Structure 1
Amino acid sequence: MNLFAEIRGLVIGALEQMQAGGELPGDVAFDNVSVEPPRDTAHGDMATNAAMVLAKAARRKPRDIAEALAPRLATDARIEVAEVAGPGFINLRLAPGVWRGIVAGILEHGIDYGRSDMGAGQKVNVEYVSANPTGPLHVGHTRGAVFGDALASLLDYTGHDVTREYYINDGGAQVDVLARSVYLRYLEALGQEVAFEEGTYPGDYLIPVGQKLAEMKGDRWVGQPESVWLAEIREFATDEMMALIREDLAALGVVMDVFFSEKSLYGTGRIEAAIEALREKGLIYRGVLEPPKGKMPEDWEPREQLLFRSTAHGDDVDRPIQKSDGSWTYFAPDIAYHYDKITRGFDQLIDVFGADHGGYVKRMKAAVSALSDGRVPLDIKLTQLVKLWKNGEPFKMSKRAGNFVTLRDVVDQVGPDVTRFVMLTRKNDAPLDFDFDKVLEQSRENPVFYVQYAHARVMSVMRKAAEAGIAADDATLRAADLSKLSHEAEIAVAKKLAEWPRLVEIAARLHEPHRIAFYLYELAGDFHALWNRGNDLPELRFLQEGDAATSQAKMALARAVAVVISAGLGILGVEPAQEMR
């Protein structure tokens, strides 16, 4: 049920009639014809750009096309007015009954109102968080986790077959550093004095890991060289850190479908297989790269390397995949990992990275394009930094983590629902200020409160109706006489509700879940405005004393608002509030 799609279908049908009548060339395509809300609501309820986008191909003036199209649209019972504006836009005003029908449709479909099959079952892999397994997740990971999880839910809601995936970066030198840090905590647990050198991880979170290791191994590794204990502690520490990370994600309401280990790519031939696949395409060669632009590093020297011809797939320069000592660069296992995703049959890949990975985008896209012969698109979404504030000052680091604020610090302060919603109140590539005081205040300036309050107000109406003996179950509200919804403020809320399915599809197509949060805030605003007008105009109050029929019509509108808010919050991973405390 998508009113904008239905009216677009009406427009396309009228254009096809014009083709059949010779008013438009038969080979003109309608792909770029859209129907959307006008920027100025004074212009109408919807507008179509049909005449504007078809004029060139049809070799006709836009206004001529519009003046032939508008009368055809006006014959539909849903259209009250179809008027040509400016050079050829067509503004449409819909009959009030159309908006009342939206309310009825929402109550019929429930939270499936807005759900679509636009994804057509496409298999999509969304990889997010993917933090190094060296400690608890920090606030930057929190934003990526929320964004990725909401995007996955949004794609699922629009008919995609979604896999949520975490790439465990356990193949690099940082895990050796973790093992050495755990060894120090192990010695400390056995009563020895230890010193954390620069480059190790001094956070308190490793204290219980060292204690657990001491309980398991006793003093077996005391005084032993690194070659004796490094490999075993490395594996043990990685497992412990991943258990901690899973707990952190669970606290935020994030559950992954797949945890993929980078380490599993080494020594198994999988990196070699991916490189060979590129070699067979003529994209691997030995060569010397140009020196880096800008200030020349003192240790730079031209040397022959094994290179991936990534410039053949849109990159700025070709990329090294093997070092001069024969070991793989960090890019090689990432190529292999994405090759694995492709061979698993995904139709689309999405990677959610931190802002510091901006320089990584083109090379990774080039690799996926090459490995899939351009069949599998890769979208890399970068999440910008989060600045934390409390009492008007930057929020200090966590002692437990050692040098950063953790995910658990944030969730423990404000809860998972507030954390998730606030993290989506800005586009992913825009910086975000997270003020612990403001996100908990009860005001319109706090979008979390504003949306939750709208849902809680609806629930309050339903409870009061029950106390007054007015039936307010969904079956009764579906049968209500909605013609009693006639005030412009009521119709304005219904119009906003009609935008929901269109908004969902746009957000899913652009991979922008923040649009859901923005929409919910706007819907809540329209609902609160209607509620507040009831303070001055008693006829707008949701419960009309002595008039159950009118009350039920108005409650049907309120219930529709709650249904859409609940669906939207569900996509964001937030529980709707039943009452405000």
Structure 2
Amino acid sequence: MNLFTDIGHLVAGAIAQLQSKGTLPDGLDLGPVTVEPPRDPLHGDMATNAAMVLAKPAKMKPRDIAEALAPLLAEDDRITTAEVAGPGFLNLRLAPSVWQDLAKDVIAKGSAYGRSGMGQGKRVNVEYVSANPTGPMHVGHARGAIVGDATASLLAYAGYDVTREYYINDGGAQVDVLARSVYLRYLEAHDLSVDWPEGSYPGDYLIDVGEALKAKVGDKYLEAEESEWLEEVRTFATDAMMDLIRTDLASLGVVMDHFFSEKSLYDTGLIEKAIEELRDKGLIYRGTLEPPKGKTPEDWEPREQTLFKSTDYGDDVDRPIKKSDGSWTYFAPDIAYHYDKVSRGYDMLIDIFGADHGGYVKRMKAAVSALSESRVPLDIKLIQLVKLFKNGQPFKMSKRAGTFVTLRDVVEMVGSDAARFHMLTRKSDAALDFDFDKVKEQSKENPVFYVQYASARISSVLRKAAEAGIDCTDDTLRAADLSGLTHDLEIALAKKVAEWPRLVEIAARTHEPHRIAFYLFELASDLHTLWNAGNDDTSLRFLQEHDPAATQAKIALARAVSVVISGGLGILGVTPATEMR
């Protein structure tokens, strides 16, 4: 059930009537026609832009179209008034019974309320985290993991077939550095003294890995040359780090469907195959690039390179795919990886990248567009930095990593639920301040607490109704008379509940799960406002001990709110609270 969609169908039907009468021409594109809440609630309950967007193709004045639509819409029992405003805006007011009975429909649908078939089962690959397997995950990875996981859940909620994917960056030189660092811990496990070179990974998290390597191979590598142990230790260390990463992610409730190894692209022909695909399209050539911005001809040495003609697909410049020594650039395996994803039959790709990948956006979109012949869209979301605070001061040191705060540190300090919700209280492309004290603060200023408090309050009133002997099971609430819900605050809460299905589709369409967190805070605020009004006006209290019928009506509304909070928190990966501690 989506009330805005239902009224949208009503508008479309009225347009069809005008077309049948010859008032409007046939063949109009109704795609741009929307029904949404008006910017100013005083203007009505819903507004449609139908007259404004149809005026030009119909060669009519917007107001003339609006005045023709208004009486047709007002014929529907759900519409009390259809008012034309300004040059042709059409504002609608709905009958109180629409809002009163909404709670019944929400309770009847239960967890299905708000779910959408918008995705039509289309296959989406969401790649996120993809941290180098060289150590524990830090707080920046935590934000990327949460945004990616919530995006995947949101799309699944909206009817897409979603795959959560992690790209293991195990093909570069940093994994060799990891192997050498583990080898030093291996030597320490044999009570040997070592010197840590600059650029190595001296964190305590590798102590156990060095011990495990000793347990596996004994003293086999103590006197061996690096060439004898590097490959095996590299594999051993990468596997150990991925086990650590999986554990870190699990502490946040993040479970991947698929892990893809960068190393699998090398020496298997996959990179060559992807580049050959582009070559067949006439997009690979030998050429010389212009000097980068800020460089002058004097300090720039032009050289012929193998280039991808990414400018054909919206990039600023063409991109090198081979270095002067004949080895692949970092871009080449990225092309091959996305070629593999396209080949797996996905209808859409989403990459969640760190802010430092901003320069990769246009080139990757160009590559995917070229490889899929513009069939598969790629959306890249950049995750900005997280600034940590504790007691009002910057918080930087980690117990385990030595140089940064780990994902596990955050979860241990505030819990997975609080961490996940708070990380989604800002758009992903905006920097986020994460204050450990405020995240645990029990006040309206803390959105995590405020939404959980609303959930707990609803659970509390349901328990109290049961203790008072008032039947508030879902079957009873669905049959309750809700015509007594007439106060402005009750109607306002019902209206906010009605926005949920529409909000889900907007958030899914834009791949922006933070919209869910924003909406839940607003919904919780409306619930708390109504609850607190009962302190002065006892008729607004959810529990009317001497009037079971009134209690059932009011709790039906609260129960509808809890259905939406549960669904929204589920998308965010947060467990609803049944009581506050």
Short-chain TM bin: over 0.9
SS where residue 321 of structure 2 aligns?
A: strand
- Which amino acid in structure 1 is aligned with residue 493 of structure 2? V
- Per the alignment, residue 437 of structure 1 pairs with 437
CA distance in 1, matches of 2:410, 2:431: 17
- Deviation per residue, 1:346-397 (Å, 9 max, x gap): 0000000010000000000000000000000000000111000000100122
Q: CA deviation at 1:566?
A: 0.3
- Per the alignment, residue 455 of structure 2 pairs with 455
- Which amino acid in structure 2 is aligned with residue 162 of structure 1? V
Paired residues, what number? 581
- Deviation per residue, 1:299-320 (Å, 9 max, x gap): 8522211111111111111111
- Per the alignment, residue 87 of structure 1 pairs with 87
SS where residue 480 of structure 1 aligns?
A: coil
- Per the alignment, residue 20 of structure 2 pairs with 20
- Per the alignment, residue 59 of structure 2 pairs with 59
Residues 497 and 561 of structure 2 are in contact (CA less than 8 Å); yes or no, is this contact kept in structure 1? yes
- Per the alignment, residue 412 of structure 2 pairs with 412
Q: CA deviation at 1:56?
A: 1.1
Q: Which range moved further: 295-304 or 202-211?
A: 295-304
- Per the alignment, residue 291 of structure 1 pairs with 291
- Per the alignment, residue 170 of structure 1 pairs with 170
Q: CA deviation at 1:189?
A: 1.1
> Aligned runs of 1:69-468 on 2, under 5 Å?
69-295=69-295, 300-468=300-468
- Which amino acid in structure 1 is aligned with residue 515 of structure 2? R
- Per the alignment, residue 489 of structure 2 pairs with 489
SS where residue 437 of structure 1 aligns?
A: helix
- Deviation per residue, 1:534-553 (Å, 9 max, x gap): 11111111111211111111
- Per the alignment, residue 48 of structure 1 pairs with 48
Residues 270 and 336 of structure 1 are in contact (CA less than 8 Å); yes or no, is this contact kept in structure 2? yes
Q: CA deviation at 1:175?
A: 0.3
What TM-score do you get using the length of structure 1 for normalisation? 0.99
Q: CA deviation at 1:297?
A: 10
- Which amino acid in structure 1 is aligned with residue 384 of structure 2? Q
SS where residue 317 of structure 2 aligns?
A: coil
SS where residue 535 of structure 1 aligns?
A: coil
What TM-score do you get using the length of structure 2 for normalisation? 0.99
> Aligned runs of 1:483-562 on 2, under 5 Å?
483-562=483-562
SS where residue 402 of structure 1 aligns?
A: coil
- Deviation per residue, 1:30-50 (Å, 9 max, x gap): 110111001111111001111
Q: CA deviation at 1:399?
A: 3.8
Q: Which range moved further: 276-285 or 301-310?
A: 301-310
Instruction: Flag structure 2 segments of 5+ consecutive residues without an equivalent.
Output: none
Residues 410 and 419 of structure 1 are in contact (CA less than 8 Å); yes or no, is this contact kept in structure 2? yes
SS where residue 373 of structure 2 aligns?
A: coil
SS where residue 132 of structure 1 aligns?
A: coil
Residues 308 and 321 of structure 2 are in contact (CA less than 8 Å); yes or no, is this contact kept in structure 1? yes
CA distance in 2, matches of 1:305, 1:544: 79
Residues 443 and 449 of structure 2 are in contact (CA less than 8 Å); yes or no, is this contact kept in structure 1? yes
Residues 38 and 47 of structure 1 are in contact (CA less than 8 Å); yes or no, is this contact kept in structure 2? yes
Q: CA deviation at 1:199?
A: 0.8
- Which amino acid in structure 1 is aligned with residue 15 of structure 2? L
- Which amino acid in structure 2 is aligned with residue 351 of structure 1? D
Instruction: Flag structure 1 segments of 5+ consecutive residues without an equivalent.
Output: none
CA distance in 2, matches of 1:359, 1:402: 30
Q: Structure 1 residues 300, 135: CA separation in 2 closer, same or farther (over 3 Å shift)?
A: farther
CA distance in 1, matches of 2:106, 2:262: 46
SS where residue 47 of structure 1 aligns?
A: strand
Residues 322 and 329 of structure 2 are in contact (CA less than 8 Å); yes or no, is this contact kept in structure 1? yes
Q: CA deviation at 1:224?
A: 2.2
- Which amino acid in structure 2 is aligned with residue 122 of structure 1? K
- Deviation per residue, 1:242-276 (Å, 9 max, x gap): 00000000000000000000001111111110001
SS where residue 290 of structure 2 aligns?
A: coil
CA distance in 2, matches of 1:55, 1:94: 25
CA distance in 1, matches of 2:526, 2:96: 17
Q: Which range moved further: 422-431 or 477-486?
A: 477-486
CA distance in 2, matches of 1:297, 1:514: 46
- Deviation per residue, 1:410-460 (Å, 9 max, x gap): 000000000000000001111100000001010000000000000000000
Residues 201 and 402 of structure 1 are in contact (CA less than 8 Å); yes or no, is this contact kept in structure 2? no
- Deviation per residue, 1:63-117 (Å, 9 max, x gap): 1111111111111100001001111101110001101221111000001100010
Residues 108 and 478 of structure 2 are in contact (CA less than 8 Å); yes or no, is this contact kept in structure 1? yes
Q: CA deviation at 1:219?
A: 1.9
Q: Percent identity?
A: 74
Q: CA deviation at 1:27?
A: 2.5
- Which amino acid in structure 2 is aligned with residue 9 of structure 1? H
Residues 389 and 434 of structure 1 are in contact (CA less than 8 Å); yes or no, is this contact kept in structure 2? yes
- Which amino acid in structure 2 is aligned with residue 527 of structure 1? L
SS where residue 223 of structure 2 aligns?
A: coil
SS where residue 536 of structure 1 aligns?
A: coil
Residues 203 and 399 of structure 1 are in contact (CA less than 8 Å); yes or no, is this contact kept in structure 2? no
- Which amino acid in structure 2 is aligned with residue 405 of structure 1? V
Q: CA deviation at 1:17?
A: 0.9
Residues 131 and 137 of structure 2 are in contact (CA less than 8 Å); yes or no, is this contact kept in structure 1? yes
Q: CA deviation at 1:409?
A: 0.7
CA distance in 2, matches of 1:68, 1:194: 85
CA distance in 1, matches of 2:18, 2:429: 44
- Which amino acid in structure 2 is aligned with residue 209 of structure 1? V
- Which amino acid in structure 1 is aligned with residue 115 of structure 2? R
- Per the alignment, residue 575 of structure 1 pairs with 575
CA distance in 2, matches of 1:298, 1:326: 25
Q: CA deviation at 1:184?
A: 0.8
SS where residue 63 of structure 1 aligns?
A: helix
Q: What value does the CA root-mean-square deviation take over the aligned residues?
A: 1.1
Q: CA deviation at 1:298?
A: 9.1
- Per the alignment, residue 10 of structure 1 pairs with 10
